[in-house]
């Protein structure tokens, strides 16, 4: 199915970090469409930001491909429970791990609790992110700048470092970057800056971990219809969200899931240090 919703979208302001259940139209995370084929059978995945949006789509896909899933999320408990339900319906185990990854101990606990429950980590997906939109540079506060970096890139460093002793050769780390890593949107300056850092962190870490047989890649989504959009962007941008890319619409979370599956699976065994664009035609060169 490719007949996904196109702008304009109805006005739907939300508080940060947003709720998927309140979005109109509801994002498609593959609940009814993704079909697995055992490509991740027996693996264990830790996914941050797994309660909704891209993280939910990845969790559903991974479960249907045969993986058990630990889901880190902030405090969107209802969204997280819904994701967990889909994982369990796929016949896999799920672990819900709420907490603010801007805090170092939360990052360490995500890893230790996943290992305690499942014994190891085969796939690490660093997907959680924070963003706010600002029309001027002057209104970005020091506190918000630090929060954005602590959530988006410092947490990634901490989680990767904590997870590494529990990962073996053949494991995969997948970090969510953005089209903003290549073409930064000025009104999302702190967020865009961290996404550039993620692209570089992933490429460098791939080189450091190659001798261990652990692959590291990043995915660069374009405009994807997730709770971050109505909760952090002005109404006029939400209304026309995704309309400016060549395909003329925002992507749905399910449209990213196959890339995360491929990078996590043995089919991606020689892909490391890559940044894969899923942008609706907006080029990343």
Q: Does domain 20-278 have CATH number 1.10.287.370?
A: no
Catalytic residues: 191
What are the sequence ranges of the domains in the chain? Answer: 20-278
The chain-wide mean pLDDT, for the chain, equals: 96
232-268 tens-digit pLDDT: 999 999 999 999 999 999 999 999 999 999 999 999 9
Phi, psi of 275 (to 5 degrees): -125, 115
186-220 tens-digit pLDDT: 999 999 999 999 999 999 999 999 999 999 999 99
């Amino acid at each position: 199915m490719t007949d996904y919703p196109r702008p304009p979208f109805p006005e739907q302001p939300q508080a940060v970090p947003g709720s998927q259940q309140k979005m109109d139209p509801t994002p498609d995370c593959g609940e009814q469409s993704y079909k697995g084929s055992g490509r991740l059978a027996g693996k264990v995945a830790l996914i941050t930001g797994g309660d909704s949006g891209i993280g939910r789509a990845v969790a559903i896909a991974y479960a249907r491909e045969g993986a058990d899933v630990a889901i880190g999320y902030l405090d969107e408990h209802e969204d997280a429970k819904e994701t967990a339900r889909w994982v369990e319906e796929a016949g896999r185990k799920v672990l819900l791990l709420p907490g603010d990854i801007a805090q170092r101990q939360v990052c360490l606990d995500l890893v230790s609790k996943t290992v305690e429950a499942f014994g190891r980590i085969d796939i690490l997906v660093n997907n959680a992110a924070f963003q706010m939109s600002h029309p001027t540079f002057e209104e970005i506060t020091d506190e918000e700048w630090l929060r954005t970096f602590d959530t988006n890139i410092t947490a990634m460093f901490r989680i990767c470092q904590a997870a590494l002793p529990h990962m073996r050769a053949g494991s995969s780390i997948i970090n969510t970057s953005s089209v903003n890593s290549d073409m930064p949107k000025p009104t999302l300056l702190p967020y865009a800056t961290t996404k550039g850092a993620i692209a570089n962190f992933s490429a460098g870490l791939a080189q450091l971990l190659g001798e261990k047989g652990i692959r590291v890649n990043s995915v660069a989504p374009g405009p994807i219809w997730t709770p971050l959009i109505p909760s952090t962007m002005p109404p006029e941008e939400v209304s026309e969200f995704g309309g400016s890319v060549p395909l003329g619409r925002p992507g749905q979370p399910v449209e990213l899931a196959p890339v995360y599956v491929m990078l996590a699976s043995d089919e991606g065994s020689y892909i490391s240090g890559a940044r894969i664009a899923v942008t609706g035609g907006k080029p990343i060169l």
